[in-house]
Structures are given as structure tokens and as C-alpha cells.
Amino acid sequence: MQKIIILIHCKDQKAIISTVTNYIASKEGNIIYLDQHVDADENVFFMRLECEFSTKNWDLNALKSDFEQQLAKPLQLTWEIYTQGEKPKMALFVSKYDHCLYDILGRYSSGELPLEIAVIISNHEDLKPIAERFSIPFHFVPFTKEIKEKGEKEQLDLLNQYQIDFIVLARYMQIITPNLIAKYRNNIINIHHSFLPAFPGAKPYHSAFKRGVKIIGATSHYVTEGLDEGPIIEQDIARVSHVNSIEDFIMKGRDLERTVLARAIKLHAERKTMVYDNKTVVFY
Amino acid sequence: MQKIIILIHCKDQKAIISTVTNYIASKEGNIIYLDQHVDADENVFFMRLECEFSTKNWDLNALKSDFEQQLAKPLQLTWEIYTQGEKPKMALFVSKYDHCLYDILGRYSSGELPLEIAVIISNHEDLKPIAERFSIPFHFVPFTKEIKEKGEKEQLDLLNQYQIDFIVLARYMQIITPNLIAKYRNNIINIHHSFLPAFPGAKPYHSAFKRGVKIIGATSHYVTEGLDEGPIIEQDIARVSHVNSIEDFIMKGRDLERTVLARAIKLHAERKTMVYDNKTVVFY
Amino acid sequence: MQKIIILIHCKDQKAIISTVTNYIASKEGNIIYLDQHVDADENVFFMRLECEFSTKNWDLNALKSDFEQQLAKPLQLTWEIYTQGEKPKMALFVSKYDHCLYDILGRYSSGELPLEIAVIISNHEDLKPIAERFSIPFHFVPFTKEIKEKGEKEQLDLLNQYQIDFIVLARYMQIITPNLIAKYRNNIINIHHSFLPAFPGAKPYHSAFKRGVKIIGATSHYVTEGLDEGPIIEQDIARVSHVNSIEDFIMKGRDLERTVLARAIKLHAERKTMVYDNKTVVFY
Amino acid sequence: MQKIIILIHCKDQKAIISTVTNYIASKEGNIIYLDQHVDADENVFFMRLECEFSTKNWDLNALKSDFEQQLAKPLQLTWEIYTQGEKPKMALFVSKYDHCLYDILGRYSSGELPLEIAVIISNHEDLKPIAERFSIPFHFVPFTKEIKEKGEKEQLDLLNQYQIDFIVLARYMQIITPNLIAKYRNNIINIHHSFLPAFPGAKPYHSAFKRGVKIIGATSHYVTEGLDEGPIIEQDIARVSHVNSIEDFIMKGRDLERTVLARAIKLHAERKTMVYDNKTVVFY
């Protein structure tokens, strides 16, 4: 059996579910998972399907082209189709913090992440030994405001060279350039160490401490042009109290950052996220 | 527009989704929500649909009978259809604890619960003044092991008289008889003050305290013949520590009991729960 | 035995704990709970003690005056002493939302809150029947920008008349005047329906929905001159997803508002909160 | 300045706090943290202190011996004193699961754990490459019922050789022998993949799935003779629903196991846990 994942996004319309499910049935496909969402205000429709096809006479490209002609064109669908085994290629951007890096590499080595970590890119050389320990190619790409264009070019070259599908910023402390964002629209995942939209920008734990909050958080989101303003994929929180120092906030926050980023990466790699209107639809 | 809810439960089979959604489309119905679940091990299929029909020529009974003939019989579906406005009638069973009672009556008065509280039945007279305060009929039905049959008869008579659809045990401290369970199979909701299956039976907070747990819980479940062994609808937890006495456990637990029971009642009244194999499917 | 609660706040200084605990021991008091906190950055010290004294020859006023002379004056302590049974008098301010009101009155009637609800004050007459149902005096005090001074005077007169110790704003939808804030500094508790500092001001659920957050929250805080900027007492959160409408956010939020406000009221009434530097120390 | 941690455990007695704090003050020590707990039912007293002493004329052994003579003997205290910098030596026992191992080694490498991982001992050779990657000594010690005595001897020899203070079972799938438990009483930490006391023993995720729970958990506890019955240090939970398969339970559970075990290790290494009556006092 061949298992595929279909993502559909279109204007809401009559009989859309029956039309799509009929199509699958007509191709002798068996739906094993279907989730859909209608945003009534925006009048948009989203669907995620997992289907099984008998492998006899199976041809993915034929299916895609048929799908486009028979279904997508008439209904004006935006769509993506993936085979189950297809692992997206990921690039990790890091600076000096190593806790998210260790966590991702540990999970990756344990076989928890359905993806391939193709390359680690950093604006510092500090974390190179960790990359080596896990046998992942590491590239040092200096990046500052002054050499932005040079840095961006090197990044883009590496992303091309390693045929990268999506990028994860694991506490990467530099701005991502508009060109990179445009090229990897909805494919760059950042972890911000606050409960957005509270405390965007620099030093959120310090701001949270000063404000005297009783709960801190972390937020994973797709990167857009606005700082920490992209579509949120996942958030989580931890309780704090007056006994906790800023150092405690940071330490508790590290656990949040690890977990929230790992969940977002997994959801993205499993093709469970869809973006619209600066929000995400996340099919669990 | 007329809005209806359809629940379907059957053996898993090919093209089941497209067959059902085609049927809705053929009746000019518009699906505004669809969620389904396949239990691959048990080979069973569950679906919950919300559909809108134009009210012109609308006839619920005709639809039901057509649905049965055209769809349910050939596919061997177990099904239920409700119109959106239809509020189920609920009976509240209480003893002496008043916190869940106050909570439910408060939510009910605030318009949060899509149901009608038709009657409160108790084996004590203590809570009668609360029922009166909220203008709900209150019946005192003594119940002990010795007068079990008499008590059960009085309960069944009242449930008939008030045309009760489902029963909520809001810390009711007596056994429910097998007759009552059989008559209201999957329609009696209990709140147990522990994180089941830990600490079933009497005095769970005392047992939790003795065991030194760091988290306590509450569980809402459908009542079956086995004590605290029925299908779980909802659970939640709260942190405790060595500083908390048994009295603190009980006080924190009251909040859990309130919240977990209220959520279960709401899910049930909204027809979002389905039961099989001593488990629940809960369509959020 | 007579049980008392002592709250102490002062500049951090050498041997402060031993000096205070010696004093208690010298008076034949037995410490049954002690919690302290040092803010090293601000160089301030906080302590909460629960002590038991034999009731023979017990005289609270004598103790207070001795405490002031022997301890507080030399060490420059700010302090409060309460006897255990002493219930603070609370005024409830409401507008039209009834869910927090029902919740507080239910808990109060169940004996969960160590306080006396002396009066309910509202700028609308809608909730009067609920107050009557629970036999709490209700006063309608119109309040708008135009009649602010008249409204404030009526409020202050009622607070004096009922000898109110602290005020709870249970979704009261009007500004509190600076005079009232000054008179009840750190004694007015508000519930805001967001995870502050995210989404202060009006319509936070709408803003949260628009931003696409995956978690919503509620915050209970002491009222200060800055809107939603006072010291935070308690916060909690609930998960949301793309399937939730704004109405779902509001409904889930009601549960948060109820729980968070109830916890803050209880903590305040038990004298477990201390305020400094726009933060709270909360001794659990 | 020299910083020390003092743990005290004794029968509850009059003026115990003032006596201890006076003693510290008399030695020119400055208390920077004090937390205490009285179990009124058991009549026992616990205290944890962090104190600073000027390093001039500082002598830890002199202090310990003076503390024993002046304080501990007369008051019949059980006590421990540690200097702040003193890192306990930890042995990791593993079998074939690598996710907790990766997590602990990652945190250790990031500098999050105030301890020294001296050795990894396993009854399989599978995880040896990971130990090598992080440059930690790895010893293969076969262990089955048949060669229990031989295995135990090898384990004890290694623990002696590496001067191990405490042992962490990171999903080690063999019984710990009574001799080892006795030698490391309250110093062997296990992670069990359920919310104890629910689902002790083998395959807890399978049992949880079968029971249809809505929340799963993990529990970290000190190992005693009774299987999964030792004093609980830390627990946490995650929500599940009908959509989750057993594989999902296991995957979500891995995150719980990692986090809960890491927290327990940290609390133990920071000397924040005390055990009595099969429970823990955990000073946060």
C-alpha cells in the first residue's frame, strides 16, 4: 500500500467534501484520516487527508496531474500532495545557545523527527564541536548588519546546495533577510522565549521578571517581515513565582523553548500545518 | 436555515465518508462541520456532522426516515440526528455536597449550558433551599441499601414524569441500581474526585495524600456496573506539594470537580460524545 | 489556643529571622508556619508567620503594642497582625456579566471563602435578582464619565457604611477613580480576561483571536492608576486552536476568569499576598 | 564568601527555628534562604537553609563538628551540610531506550545540571556509541535473573570505583537488587512512564490506552523494595484523546519522561529533596 497526505485550501463552496472524497473513492483510494476546517468569517476551507492506495499501477506524478486537471482546476484549489515516506530537508540556524540544538539533535538521533537535518549554519564557531559529535555538516557564515548581503548570499548558496525545504532558527540571534523570508515563506520556524504577543523583541525574560508575571511562556512561529509577528504554530507556559530569579526564569524557559520548538518542527515536518491570514491551522 | 447534528457509528468500510457526504449534498444540505475517527484495531468508524438545510420544505421526520432507508440500512449504521435547538432534559442527583450543585446552577443561570435542568433528586433534604433559590423542582428520595427497591422505583417514576434524557451525579453518594444504569446506558454522568484509574472508591484524597502524589485529579465518566470503571469523558489535574494538607487537597479538588463535571455535561448536551468499548470518542 | 498571622516587610538586614523568631519564642508563641523571601536586587525582606499562643493571659492589643516597641521600631519593620478568625469585609462591584458573580456567591455559600461579602454595588440593575437570591445587599450606583464625581461619592459612602476592607471587581466595566484607588491601595482586585501584559484594555478575546494565539489567559491583579498595569496576583491559561471561534474563546475564558478571580480573592482574604515594586509576593 | 546548604530533620519541638537561626547568627552566618515544613500529624520538622559565611577563618569540618556538638546532639537533629560548589557524582543506568539518555547528556553538556556524570552502566551495548560521543565512561554489565549476584557485584564495584553518590535509572529495564537499594537508600531515582499509582509495572501506555484515559503521565521516584512504590519526587501529565494511538501515547510520553526525570535529577543534585514516611519534601 502507498500512503499519501493531501492538503487542500480553497474558497468555501458547496459539496466540497463530497467532491473530494468522491474523487479519492473513484481512484480506489481509502481515506484513513480526514480533518477539515471552515473559517466562516473569511469564507475559506481547509482539509487534510491521509489516503492509502494499492501500489499496483501506482504513479504519483500521474495522480498529481490528474488531481490538478479533474479537481484542483475546476474548484480552484491550492493543494499539496506528499508521499508518507518523503522526509523534508531541514537546515538549522544557531548562534551560541546550545540547549535547543542538543535537544533537536537528541530527538533526531532517537528517530523521533520525520525529517533530515542536512546542515547546521551559524554566525559563530562555538557550536561546531556539537555538530561534529552528531556528524552533521556545519558551516560558519558570519553575519552582521555590515555584511548582510554577503551573509545572505552565503546562506542562500548553502540552502541551495543542500536542497533545503525548511529552516529552523534554534535561538539564532540574527535578523533573517527579506529575500530569505520570501524564498522560504511559511518555511522558517523561529522559537521566541516569551508568550507572544507579550514581550516581543530582546530580553523577554527580563521584561517578564520586571512585570511580575506568574506565568512565562515560549512561542514557535513562522518568520515574517515583522519581528515576532508571524503565524503562531505552538505555545506553552510554565508557572513562576516571587521566589524565582531572572536566572530561574531563563532556566525554566529553556525547557519551554526546547519542547515548543520540537513540537513545531514535528508538526511542520508531518505536513500538519497550514497558514492563512497570519494564523495557522494545525491538524493534530 | 435549519441546523442539524448527525452522529454515525458503524463498521469501517470503503468510501463511507463520500457516501454520507454525497447523501447530504443530494438533499441540498451544507456541511459546516465534519469530524471522523477510525479505530483501526477495532475496525470501527465514527462521524459527527453539523449540516444546514434551507427551511423551505424542511421535515425532520421525513429526513430521518429517508436517512434510515437510503443510508443507514444498506451501510448498517447506528445513528442519531438532533436539531440544533433541541435541549436535552437533565436530572441532577445530589447528596450533601453543594459545590458542584452551585456551580452547575450558576452556569445554567448564566446561559452556558445547552440543556434544561428539569429536576433535582436527593437522598437528603439539606440542599433543598438551594434548589428553591434557583426555582428548580426538588424531590427528596430516601435511598439506602435496605430500601433500594423502593428508592429505585421512586427515582424511575420521577425520571419518567420529568421525561429525563440524562442524569448527572453531582457528588451523589449512593450506588446507582443496575436497572437505572440499563435504562440510562451512557446517559448517567458521574464525577469522581481522583485521577482514575488511580484511587477508585471512597476517600481518594486521603489515599492520594498518603501516597504522597505531586498531582491530584478529577474524572468525569459514564456510569457502568463497575464502580468508577465507566468510559471516561474528561479529566483534569492540579499540582500539590508537601505543604498541602488533606484539607488543601479537598479544597483544590473541589475546583477540579466543578470544572471537569461542567465540561462533561456540556460535551454530552452538545452531542459531542460517543461511547464504544468502554471508551469515549469526544469530538471537540 | 489563639492563632495569629504576622506579615513583615523591611529592608534586608542581618539576623532578621532569628530576631523575629526569638521574639515569638520569648512570648511563648509557637511558630507553625514560616515563609520568607529576600529580594537581593532590591534588598528587601518579607516574612509571613503563623503562630499559636496559649489563650491564658492573651491580649492582642498588648501584643501589637509590644511588637511595635520591641521589634518593629528598632528594626524599622512594616507589619500587620491578624487573628485567624478575623474575616475581612468585601464589596463586590459588578456590571452585567453574571458568571463571576454566580461563582463567587456559590463558593461563598459553600463556605469556601474566609471573608464576609457585605455589599454588591453595580452601575446596572440587571444583577439585582441574583444578589437577592443570595440575600446580599445590592446597591445601584449609576456611573459614567459625566457623573463620575457623584458616582464616586456614592461608592465611598457605601464602602464606609459597610466598613469595607477590600473590593473585588467581578467584570465591573467602569473606571475606578483615583480617590478610590488611593483609599483602597492594594485592596482592589480586578480580573482581566487576557494573559497580561498581552492584550490589555478592551476586547482582549477578539485581539487574541485575530493574533491567532494557541493559548488564552486571565489575570487577576490589584488595581492601580495604569489600566491593567497593577501587581499581578494570579494568572492561568487554556489551550485554543483554529477550530475555536471568538465565542469559544469567550466561553473558555469565562472558566479562567472564574477560577483565577476566586483564587486571588482567597489568597488576599487569607493575608497571603504582599505588594512591592508593582509585584506581589504570594505565600502559598 | 562561602555558601553552604543545611538540611535538618527532627521531631517537631518548641523554638526550633529560633534556636537554629540563632546558631547561624552566632557564627556570623547570613541566612539567604530558609524554608521549613512541619508535618503536624507525624510531629516532624524539616528545614532547608542556605547561608553565607565570610571565608576568613572558614573551616567546614570545624563547623560540622561544632554544629553536631552545639545543636544536633541536644536537639536530636538529623542533618546534612554541603558547600555550594560540591557536585554529587552520578551514575546513569540505561538499557536500550536512548531518549532520556540524550536528554540528560544534552542538559549536562549545556551546563544545566549541578552534578558530575561519572559513569554509564548498561545491561546492553547498544548505547555505548552515545556515551562515547559525549566522552562518558561506559560499562557493559550483563544482568538477568540468572546472573543477578554476579551482576550486582560488578555494579557495586563500579559504583565504588567511581565514588558514586547517586544513581539515575534512565529507562533501565532491570530490577535493582535489595543490596543496591539498601546501600543507596533515597539515592536511586527512577522514571516510570505513568501517573503513579495508576498503571504500575510493565506496559503502562498500553494499559492507559485500553482504559481510555484523557491524560497520561510520568512519575519520578526514589527506588524502594516495592515496584514503583517509592517516594514520588515529581510528576507531570499530557492530554490525549481518542485520535491518539498507542504509538502517540508513547511519543508524548517520551517528552514527559525526559522532563520529569530531568527535574527530579536537578532537585536531588541541588539537595532540595528530603524523604520521610515514603513521601518527599521538595523545597523549590
Each residue of A145-180: pLDDT tens digit?
999 999 999 999 999 999 999 999 999 999 999 999
Average predicted confidence (pLDDT) for chain D: 96
What average pLDDT score do residues D130-154 get? 96
CB pairs under 8 A between A and C: 79
- Whether the Cβ atoms of residue C99 and residue C261 lie closer than 8 Å to each other: no
Q: Are residues A72 and A211 in the same domain?
A: no
What average pLDDT score do residues C203-228 get? 97
**A contact test, residue of C213, C239, C245, C246 with most A CBs within 10 A:** C213
Chain A environment of D130 (Cβ under 8 Å): 109
Expressed as residue numbers, the domain containing A217 is 89-282
**Residue C130 contacts B where some CB pair is shorter than 8 Å:** yes
- Whether the Cβ atoms of residue B142 and residue B151 lie closer than 8 Å to each other: yes
Of B246-250, C3-7, C51-55, C68-72, the one with minimum mean pLDDT is C51-55
**Considering only CA atoms, which of C283, C265, C274 is closest in space to residue C113?**
C265
CA of B251 vs chain D CAs: smallest distance (Å):
19
At which of B51, B67, B83 does a domain end?
A: B83
Nearest by CB to residue D106, choosing from A106, A112, A259, is A106
Which pLDDT belongs to residue B40? 85
C229-264: b (≥16 Cβ within 10 Å) or e:
ebbbbbbbbbebebebeeebbbebbbbbbbbbbbbb
Q: Are residues D157 and D243 in the same domain?
A: yes
Which pLDDT belongs to residue C156? 98
pLDDT at A57 over 80: no
- Whether the Cβ atoms of residue D53 and residue D1 lie closer than 8 Å to each other: yes
Confidence of residue A1 (pLDDT cuts 50, 70, 90): confident
Q: Is C199 left (phi over 0), alpha (psi -120 to 50) or beta?
A: left
CA of D123 vs chain C CAs: smallest distance (Å):
42
**Considering only CA atoms, which of B164, B172, B181 is closest in space to residue B143?**
B172
Confidence of residue A84 (pLDDT cuts 50, 70, 90): confident
Confidence of residue A55 (pLDDT cuts 50, 70, 90): confident
Which pLDDT belongs to residue B168? 98
The tens digit of pLDDT for each residue in B235-280 reads 999 999 999 999 999 999 999 999 999 999 999 999 999 999 999 9
Q: CA–CA distance from B200 to each of A124, B239, B246, B255, C92 (Å)?
A: 56, 19, 17, 19, 39
Chain B environment of A31 (Cβ under 8 Å): 17
Which pLDDT belongs to residue A41? 87
What average pLDDT score do residues D82-111 get? 96
The tens digit of pLDDT for each residue in B154-163 reads 999 999 999 9
- Whether the Cβ atoms of residue B174 and residue B147 lie closer than 8 Å to each other: no
Following DSSP, what letter does each residue of C213-228 receive, concatenated?
-SEEEEEEEE--SSTT
**Residue A15 contacts B where some CB pair is shorter than 8 Å:** yes
User: CA-based angle A235:A237:A243, to the nearest 5?
Assistant: 155
First and final C-alpha spacing in chain B? 23
Name residue C62's amino acid. A
Q: Do A33 and B34 touch (CB under 8 A)?
A: no
Q: Is D212 left (phi over 0), alpha (psi -120 to 50) or beta?
A: left
What average pLDDT score do residues C29-48 get? 92
Q: Do A254 and D112 touch (CB under 8 A)?
A: yes
pLDDT at A40 over 90: no
Q: Are residues B166 and B249 in the same domain?
A: yes
User: CA-based angle C185:C190:C195, to the nearest 5?
Assistant: 125
Chain D environment of B215 (Cβ under 8 Å): 195, 217, 235-237
Q: Do A106 and D99 touch (CB under 8 A)?
A: yes
- Whether the Cβ atoms of residue A215 and residue A240 lie closer than 8 Å to each other: yes
Which other chains touch chain A, taking contact as 3+ CB pairs less than 8 Å apart? B, C, D
**Residue B241 contacts D where some CB pair is shorter than 8 Å:** yes
* CATH number of the domain bearing residue B59: 3.30.70.260
**B contact test, residue of C34, C127, C133, C242 with most B CBs within 10 A:** C133
At which of A58, A83, A108 does a domain end?
A: A83
pLDDT at B281 over 90: yes
The tens digit of pLDDT for each residue in D27-38 reads 999 898 999 999
**Considering only CA atoms, which of D84, D87, D86 is closest in space to residue D49?**
D84
The tens digit of pLDDT for each residue in C125-178 reads 999 999 999 999 999 999 999 999 999 999 999 999 999 999 999 999 999 999
Nearest by CB to residue C255, choosing from B243, B259, B284, is B259
Which pLDDT belongs to residue B284? 81
CA–CA dist B197, B205 (Å, integer): 14
Q: What is the CA radius of gyration of chain C?
A: 21
Q: Are residues C134 and C55 in the same domain?
A: no
**Considering only CA atoms, which of A220, A228, A227 is closest in space to residue A259?**
A220
CA–CA dist C221, C264 (Å, integer): 8
Q: Do C25 and D38 touch (CB under 8 A)?
A: no
Q: What percent of chain C has pLDDT over 90?
A: 92
Q: Do D215 and B199 touch (CB under 8 A)?
A: no
Which pLDDT belongs to residue B47? 97
Which pLDDT belongs to residue C264? 98
Nearest by CB to residue A18, choosing from B14, B18, B38, is B18
First and final C-alpha spacing in chain D? 23
Q: Pick the catalytic residue from B228, B236, B248, B255.
A: B228
pLDDT at A54 over 90: no
Of A214-218, A264-268, D146-150, the one with minimum mean pLDDT is D146-150
Q: Are residues D101 and D223 in the same domain?
A: yes
CA–CA dist C257, C262 (Å, integer): 8
CB pairs under 8 A between A and B: 36
Average predicted confidence (pLDDT) for chain C: 96
Which other chains touch chain D, taking contact as 3+ CB pairs less than 8 Å apart? A, B, C
CA–CA dist B54, B58 (Å, integer): 7
CA of D242 vs chain B CAs: smallest distance (Å):
5
Average predicted confidence (pLDDT) for chain A: 96
Confidence of residue C247 (pLDDT cuts 50, 70, 90): very high
pTM: 0.96
CA–CA dist C11, C130 (Å, integer): 47
What average pLDDT score do residues B31-39 get? 92
Residue D212: which residues within 8 A CB-CB, separation 6 or more?
B231, B232, B277, B278, B279, B280, D242
Residue B116: which residues within 8 A CB-CB, separation 6 or more?
B87, B88, B89, B90
pLDDT at D284 over 90: no
DSSP, collapsed to helix, strand or coil, labels residue C192 as strand
The tens digit of pLDDT for each residue in A179-227 reads 999 999 999 999 999 999 999 999 999 999 999 999 999 999 999 999 9
Q: Are residues B179 and B48 in the same domain?
A: no
Q: Are residues D77 and D151 in the same domain?
A: no
Following DSSP, what letter does each residue of A72-123 receive, concatenated?
IHHHT-EEEEEETT-PPEEEEEE-S--HHHHHHHHHHHTT--SSEEEEEEES
* CATH number of the domain bearing residue A268: 3.40.50.170
DSSP, collapsed to helix, strand or coil, labels residue B57 as coil
**Considering only CA atoms, which of A123, A122, A103 is closest in space to residue A113?**
A103
Nearest by CB to residue A212, choosing from C212, C237, C279, is C279
What average pLDDT score do residues B25-54 get? 92
**Considering only CA atoms, which of B278, B275, B243 is closest in space to residue B80?**
B275
Q: What percent of chain A has pLDDT over 90?
A: 93
Chain D environment of C31 (Cβ under 8 Å): 17
Chain D environment of C17 (Cβ under 8 Å): 17, 21, 31, 34
Nearest-Cα residue of chain A relative to residue D101: A106
**Residue C261 contacts A where some CB pair is shorter than 8 Å:** no
What average pLDDT score do residues D1-24 get? 94
Kind and range of the H or E run holding D48: strand D44-53
pLDDT at D57 over 80: no
Q: Do A102 and D109 touch (CB under 8 A)?
A: yes
CA of A28 vs chain B CAs: smallest distance (Å):
9
Ranges of beta strands (E only) in A130-187 are: 138-140, 166-169
Which pLDDT belongs to residue D84? 87
Provide the angle, in degrees to the nearest 10, between the axes of the packed helices A246-269 and D246-269.
160
Which pLDDT belongs to residue C241? 96
Name residue C277's amino acid. D
CA of D47 vs chain B CAs: smallest distance (Å):
12
**D contact test, residue of A236, A255, A259, A267 with most D CBs within 10 A:** A255
At which of A31, A51, A83 does a domain end?
A: A83
Q: Do B134 and C130 touch (CB under 8 A)?
A: no
DSSP class of residue D146? Answer: G
Long-range CB contact pairs, C56-60, < 8 A, 24+: C58/C2, C60/C2, C60/C4
| Residue at grid coordinates 455559600 | C109
Chain C environment of A196 (Cβ under 8 Å): 198, 211, 213
pLDDT at D228 over 80: yes
Which pLDDT belongs to residue C84? 87
Q: Pick the catalytic residue from C228, C236, C248, C255.
A: C228
CA of B29 vs chain A CAs: smallest distance (Å):
9
Confidence of residue C57 (pLDDT cuts 50, 70, 90): confident
Residue D162 C-beta-side C-alpha neighbours within 13 Å:
24
Q: Are residues A60 and A118 in the same domain?
A: no
What average pLDDT score do residues C92-105 get? 98
**Residue D145 contacts B where some CB pair is shorter than 8 Å:** no
Confidence of residue B26 (pLDDT cuts 50, 70, 90): very high
Confidence of residue D55 (pLDDT cuts 50, 70, 90): confident
Q: Are residues B121 and B198 in the same domain?
A: yes
Q: Are residues D57 and D143 in the same domain?
A: no
Q: Do B112 and C254 touch (CB under 8 A)?
A: yes
Cell of D12: 517537631
Cell of D231: 517516594
Chain A environment of B17 (Cβ under 8 Å): 17, 21, 31, 34
Which pLDDT belongs to residue D160? 98
pLDDT at B149 over 90: yes
CA of B14 vs chain C CAs: smallest distance (Å):
27
Q: Are residues B121 and B63 in the same domain?
A: no
Average predicted confidence (pLDDT) for chain B: 96
**Considering only CA atoms, which of A89, A35, A60 is closest in space to residue A274?**
A35
CA–CA dist B265, A198 (Å, integer): 34
Confidence of residue C94 (pLDDT cuts 50, 70, 90): very high
DSSP, collapsed to helix, strand or coil, labels residue A267 as helix
Q: Do A99 and D105 touch (CB under 8 A)?
A: no
Which pLDDT belongs to residue D41? 87
Q: Pick the catalytic residue from A35, A59, A157, A228.
A: A228
Nearest-Cα residue of chain D relative to residue A133: D133
Q: Do D25 and C14 touch (CB under 8 A)?
A: yes
- Whether the Cβ atoms of residue D77 and residue D23 lie closer than 8 Å to each other: no
CA–CA dist D267, D114 (Å, integer): 10
The tens digit of pLDDT for each residue in B74-130 reads 999 999 999 988 999 999 999 999 999 999 999 999 999 999 999 999 999 999 999
Q: Are residues B162 and B40 in the same domain?
A: no
**Residue C32 contacts B where some CB pair is shorter than 8 Å:** no
Number of residues written out for chain D:
284
Which pLDDT belongs to residue B92? 98
**Residue B214 contacts D where some CB pair is shorter than 8 Å:** yes
Number of domain units in chain A: 2
Cell of D98: 536512548
Which pLDDT belongs to residue C41? 87
**Considering only CA atoms, which of A284, A271, A269 is closest in space to residue A113?**
A269
Chain B environment of A43 (Cβ under 8 Å): none
Whether B126 is a known active-site residue: answer no
Confidence of residue A56 (pLDDT cuts 50, 70, 90): confident
Which pLDDT belongs to residue B201? 94
